[in-house]
Structure 1
């Protein structure tokens, strides 16, 4: 997320400084510091202005930097740049709640050994501890560390989508991915279309909307039906959307283990469990917001879906 050098530069910037002054404070060469500043400016974390031939630098108004400043000021005796280098910030993103090394590794997409190695220095400083069942957790007073990692990732996501459009809403996000709504067509290869329009791929045409939905991911080129169902529930979990998801789950060969894994990832596992139970029991177990089985049968007939 950030290198040790970038974090050192951010924590060394107080008020407005020249590149030369920052290089002196960092005890680094002018060329190295200029490169750091260029990267941080591209990331929207610092702002620069020219004063004659001199470039002056200051922190941007990104909320993540407020959290970092509060953290470093409150615990000024801790060498945060060293502790947060490598994979530490990736792992801390998921320490909003106690999690095992296995779960942290899966969510942060790193090896378990990397999790232990990243958190060992934090544990040594009393920032992180392990619960009786072996889960890692942040000690009281250091919860802001996870908030910083999350806000930093959110800032990166905003920077990414703003390269494509000025009007958008991020509906869901994780460390490396996000689901976005926008009225603008996005053609970047990492923005994969999803949402209602994609039901057409399964011969389930839904009413066109004036909004477009995309999953930003460098690992996914096309949403699976399991992902599409979960994306729809994130976009809108109302009764009509749930009925459309029931059509999709009935019409397509679904991997139920994959569906539940995706539901957990997107935070819609309770709703997905209800949908699966509804289909498994032919509507005998039905939350009030779902249609009566005979009404759903009529909808399925309309879309030529065999139940």
Structure 2
């Protein structure tokens, strides 16, 4: 997320000052500080303006910086830039609840040894502890560290999408990916179309709207039907959306284990279990948002799906 130098710069930058004064405070050269300011400005974490022949720099209004300021002021005796740069912030992103090293490694996409290496200095300073089940957890008073990591990631996601559109809504996000709605078409390869329109891929043409949905991911090239179903439930968990997912699950040779795994990732596992139970019992086990079985059979027939 942030390098040690970037993190240190953000912890000491308070109010507005010239880049020259900032370099003096950081005890670094003017050229190094100018490049550092340019990088931070590109991320939206600092703002600059010209005043005569000098360049002024100040923190932006990003919420992550408010949290960082609170943490560094309350615990000013701790050298935070030494502790929080690099992989440590990736791991802290998922430490909003106690988690074992294996789980943290899987979620943060790092090696298990990296988790221990990142968290050992925090444990040594009493910032985190390991419970009896060996799960890592933040000690009382330091819970904001996970919030800081999440806000930094959220800020990066906003900066990414704002390169393509000014009007958008982020529905879901993880450390490296997010699901976004916008009225604008985005052609960047890392923005993968998803949502209702993509049901046409599986011969399920749904009513098109002027809203577009994208999954931002630098590692995914296309969407599986399991992922598409979960996206639909994140976008809209209402009766109509759930019926569309029922059609998709009935139409496609769904990998149920994969569907369940994806549902946990996107936080819709309860909804997915309801859908599967509904199909397995021919509608006998249904929630209030699922149709009567006869109604679903009629809908399926309209789309040429065998229910």
TM-score, normalised to structure 2, is 0.99
Match of 2:201 in 1: 201
Match of 1:82 in 2: 82
Q: Where do residues 174-213 of structure 1 align in structure 2 (5 Å cutoff)?
A: 174-213=174-213
Give the C-alpha shift of residue 169 in structure 1: 0.5
Match of 1:283 in 2: 283
Separation of aligned partners in 1, 2:275 and 2:199? 17
| Deviations 1:253-293, CA, capped at 9 Å, x for gaps | 11111101100000000000110111111112111221111
Match of 2:251 in 1: 251
Query: Per the alignment, in what secondary structure is the counterpart of residue 181 of structure 1?
Result: strand
**How many correspondences in the alignment?**
307
Match of 1:223 in 2: 223
Q: Where do residues 1-307 of structure 1 align in structure 2 (5 Å cutoff)?
A: 1-307=1-307
Separation of aligned partners in 1, 2:288 and 2:170? 29
Separation of aligned partners in 1, 2:257 and 2:110? 22
Separation of aligned partners in 2, 1:18 and 1:103? 44
Structure 2 unpaired stretches of 5+: none
| Deviations 1:188-245, CA, capped at 9 Å, x for gaps | 1100000000000000000111100000000112111000000000000001110100
Query: Per the alignment, in what secondary structure is the counterpart of residue 264 of structure 2?
Result: helix
| Deviations 1:75-122, CA, capped at 9 Å, x for gaps | 000000000022000100111111111111111111111111000001
TM-score, normalised to structure 1, is 0.99
Alpha-carbon RMSD: 0.8
Separation of aligned partners in 1, 2:287 and 2:62? 43
After TM superposition, the structure 1 stretch with the greater mean CA deviation from structure 2, 201-210 or 292-301, is 292-301
Segments of 4+ moved more than 6 angstroms: none
Separation of aligned partners in 1, 2:240 and 2:19? 57
Separation of aligned partners in 1, 2:105 and 2:117? 12
Query: Per the alignment, in what secondary structure is the counterpart of residue 226 of structure 2?
Result: helix
Separation of aligned partners in 1, 2:288 and 2:8? 55
Give the C-alpha shift of residue 132 in structure 1: 0.9
Separation of aligned partners in 2, 1:161 and 1:27? 35
| Deviations 1:155-175, CA, capped at 9 Å, x for gaps | 111110000000100011111
Query: Per the alignment, in what secondary structure is the counterpart of residue 221 of structure 2?
Result: coil
| Deviations 1:48-87, CA, capped at 9 Å, x for gaps | 1112221111101111000000000000000000000220
